Structure 1
Amino acid sequence: MISSQYKIILPSNYDMNIIKNRVKDNGYKTDGFYGLKFKFYLITEKGVNNNIQNSYSPLYFWNDYEGLNKFLFEGFYDNILDSFGWQSVNIGVPLVDETTEKVKDTSFVFEVVGEIEPKESLKNFKNNIKDKIPKIDTEYIITYNPEKWRYHVYYFLNDLEKVKKEKGVIYTILHISH
């Protein structure tokens, strides 16, 4: 599995109904996309769930690199290029996947980002990371990027009370393709 995400930051006065309608009208087009495990159509809205900006931030989990390559290089990503211009695509390698098919029934993604500090050994990192991340009773995936030495934890939930006291970004899910 591999993850990818681009975060399109939108002006603070941007009408987020444009994005909501875009997803409502087109989100189904990635249902059943080759190699796609899940695509979460995510947004943040300034002033909602303590978010400080508007964004459109689709999050993909691919079964392998072939689906991602098809999406990026066979014309599908061109819809993003045409609408929003050139975007950096953040890539993550899954380290821990504590999800089931139940993620298809969630309403929010809570993202926590952390740095992987230089160490003499990363031998026990996978076991130790679980001690560093917030203890939230829900399904989650941890990814990492060794180019940036960062990790991302994506919690999938319906109840925002679980993350009320945690630091991170709360995304609203508009649609989930699988």
Structure 2
Amino acid sequence: MIGMQYKVMLPSDYDMNIIRKRVKENGAKTDRFQGLHFKAYLITENGNDNNIYNSYSPLYIWNSHSGMNTFLFEGYYDNILKSFGWQRINIGIPLYCKLNKNFPDSLYAIEITGSIQETTSLAASLMENQPSLELKNEIVGETCIYNPDKWCYSHICFFREKPENLQNIGTIYEVLHVSIGE
């Protein structure tokens, strides 16, 4: 599996309804996309949930590199290039990916990022460094993606309802659509 995310930073006065409309009209195009495990269409909005910027930040989990390559190099990603210009794509390896049957109904996600400290053994070190979430029973999907090139991780949890008690420990995203691949 491969994790992939680009974060398109938008001006603070950008009308985020433009992104909502874009996803409403086009989000289903990645439903059943070959090689895709899932894609979550994520946004942050300046002033909501302690966010200080507007962003469009879709998260992809690919089952293999071939699906990701098809998406990037066979014209699908060109829509991002045309609309938002050249974007830096963050790549990582999922340590795990747990999805409940109601995962596609996710409306919010929280991303908690951190660094993996130098150690003499990596066994269980990443799991020990992740913050404990008080709302574990409300999580409908969860993944942890690490990057051994930068020794960092992103722990992302998905919810059907807004996680009110977690506003100060990570970035809260609104989930506009979830595509499940083939």
TM tier, smaller:
over 0.9
5+ long unaligned stretches in structure 1: none
Give the deviation of 1:65 after TM superposition.
Answer: 1.0
Q: Check conservation: 1:5, 1:90, Cα contact below 8 A.
A: yes
Match of residue 160 from structure 1: 162
Match of residue 133 from structure 1: 131
Aligned ranges 1:55-134 → 2 under 5 Å: 55-129=55-129, 132-134=130-132
Match of residue 54 from structure 1: 54
Task: Give the aligned residue type for 2:72.
Answer: L
Distance in structure 2 (CA, Å) of the matches to 1:79 and 1:177: 17
Distance in structure 2 (CA, Å) of the matches to 1:52 and 1:166: 12
Distance in structure 2 (CA, Å) of the matches to 1:20 and 1:172: 10
Q: Structure 2 residue aligned with 1:151, among 150, 153, 157? A: 153
Deviates more, 1:108-117 or 1:134-143: 134-143
Distance in structure 1 (CA, Å) of the matches to 2:167 and 2:6: 26
Is 1:177 aligned to residue 179 of structure 2? yes
Give the deviation of 1:29 after TM superposition.
Answer: 0.9
Match of residue 4 from structure 1: 4
Match of residue 21 from structure 2: 21
Give the deviation of 1:90 after TM superposition.
Answer: 0.6
Match of residue 142 from structure 1: 144
Distance in structure 2 (CA, Å) of the matches to 1:109 and 1:169: 8
Percentage identity across paired residues of the two chains: 49
Structure 1 residues 44 and 101, CA gap change in structure 2 (3 angstroms): same
Task: Give the aligned residue type for 2:37.
Answer: K
TM-score (norm 2): 0.90
Distance in structure 2 (CA, Å) of the matches to 1:120 and 1:162: 37
Give the deviation of 1:127 after TM superposition.
Answer: 4.6
TM-score (norm 1): 0.92
Give the deviation of 1:102 after TM superposition.
Answer: 2.2
